[in-house]
Amino acid sequence: MNPFSYVLATEYQTAQAAILDRPAAKFIAGGTNLLDLMKEGVETPPQLVDINRLPLEQIEIQADGSMRLGALSRNSNVAYHPTIQARYPVLSEAILSGASPQLRNMATTAGNLMQRTRCYYFNDSTVPCNKRVPGSGCPAISGFNRIHSILGTSEQCIATHPSDMCVALVALDAIVHIQGSARNRTIPLTDFHHLPRETPHLETVLEPGELITAVEIPVLPFAARSHYLKVRDRNSYAFALVSAAVALEIQNNKISAARVAFGGVATKPWRDQAVEHRLVGADPTEETFRAAAEIAVRDAVPQRFNAFKIELTKRTLVRALTQVVAMPGETL
């Protein structure tokens, strides 16, 4: 691990100033991803700015009924929060399907948004990687790419976004609150992560010195009927090969609203509104779900070792939607 200095920030201004003074510095909270990458020599920040003393751990129900997750709210606290479990079960399920209890006790909401990919080549500092060194190449395209993306890829990068939590959050229309030295802003989570295109090293819209302060989940009554289905090589402590976060509202035996997002198959948490539009107004049947699943993989670009993800994505979506329909609840 490279030498680095350490700053314990007790207020926003201190944290942001420390980052702006040394642009390659990094914020650290739980450190469940960053510290691993530092040990492997993938991340080499000259300074870490510890933000754990900032007042950002709250999980709050706001006046309009929306939920506000502080940037430092721990994954375990979010997953087991009774309101999250009742109103947004897809989010609780997504969090609990990832990592281990020990890691979930440390990992934070903002840290999930900032996770780096688990690409074999990205994690190996001895080989080229456009995410680490722009213009050096993407050996995953011609190499072993079983876990890599089939959606949202480019000739520069096919790495997969690893988060389970973010997949559920994009399905729930989550909004990211960001504080900067000069301005504050809010961004839909669907727009927070960049596609790789020609600049795979630029992964989010955050500007230098900006700090995530919260993630807001708007009121979405039908999200009480939601589910996160994760398909992986083993039943615990494994990243998704394919996952689906789905929610349905059914009225008069027709789908009146839908949310669909995928993980494990794309370079960012993948919300698919075309699939949602296909579902709305249709009967909640397997035939409808299979038709929607075909739309989900319309733009897939498989590689040599991950073409199986096309069929697996379709089957995962059909199964997830079928399980939501079978959930107890009122059908109007």
Element (H, E) at 47: strand 47-50
Handedness of CA 281, 283, 289, 293 (dihedral sign): negative
d(CA 313, CA 300): 10
Number of structural domains found in the chain? 2
229 strand-pairing partners: 244
pTM over 0.85: yes
In a domain, 106, yes or no: no
**pLDDT score recorded for residue 330:** 54
Q: Output the DSSP codes for 32-80.
A: TTHHHHHHTTS---SEEEE-TTSS---EEE-TTS-EEEETT-BHHHHHT
d(CA 205, CA 214): 15
In a domain, 240, yes or no: yes
Phi, psi dihedral angles at 213 (to 5 degrees): -110, -25
Task: Specify the DSSP class assigned to residue 190.
Answer: G
In a domain, 77, yes or no: no
Phi, psi dihedral angles at 43 (to 5 degrees): -105, 135
Scanning the structure block, which residue is given the tokens 């990592």? 99
Distance of CA 84 to the CA centre of its chain: 17
17 lies in which domain range?
Answer: 1-53
The percent of residues in the chain predicted with pLDDT above 90, rounded, is: 95
Q: Which CATH number does the domain housing residue 314 bear?
A: 3.30.390.50
The percent of residues in the chain predicted with pLDDT above 70, rounded, is: 99
In a domain, 294, yes or no: yes
In a domain, 148, yes or no: no
3-state secondary structure of 235: coil
The residue among 266, 247, 273 whose CA lies nearest residue 163 is: 266
3-state secondary structure of 169: helix
CA dist list (Å): 46 to 53, 111, 116, 211: 21, 19, 18, 18
Phi, psi dihedral angles at 29 (to 5 degrees): -125, -95
Task: Specify the DSSP class assigned to residue 74.
Answer: B
**pLDDT score recorded for residue 332:** 41
Phi, psi dihedral angles at 26 (to 5 degrees): -130, 140
Exposed, middle or buried: residue 22 (CB in 10 Å: 0-12, 13-18, 19+)? Answer: middle
Element (H, E) at 84: helix 82-87
Tokens of 301: 């670009």
The tens digit of pLDDT for each residue in 256-277 reads: 999 999 999 999 999 999 999 9
Pairing of strands 5-8, 47-50: parallel
Ranges of residues in the chain whose predicted pLDDT is under 50: 331-332
The residue among 66, 65, 89 whose CA lies nearest residue 78 is: 89
In a domain, 168, yes or no: no
In a domain, 95, yes or no: no
In a domain, 111, yes or no: no
The tens digit of pLDDT for each residue in 84-99 reads: 999 999 999 999 999 9
The residue among 55, 52, 38 whose CA lies nearest residue 108 is: 52
The residue among 77, 76, 59 whose CA lies nearest residue 68 is: 59
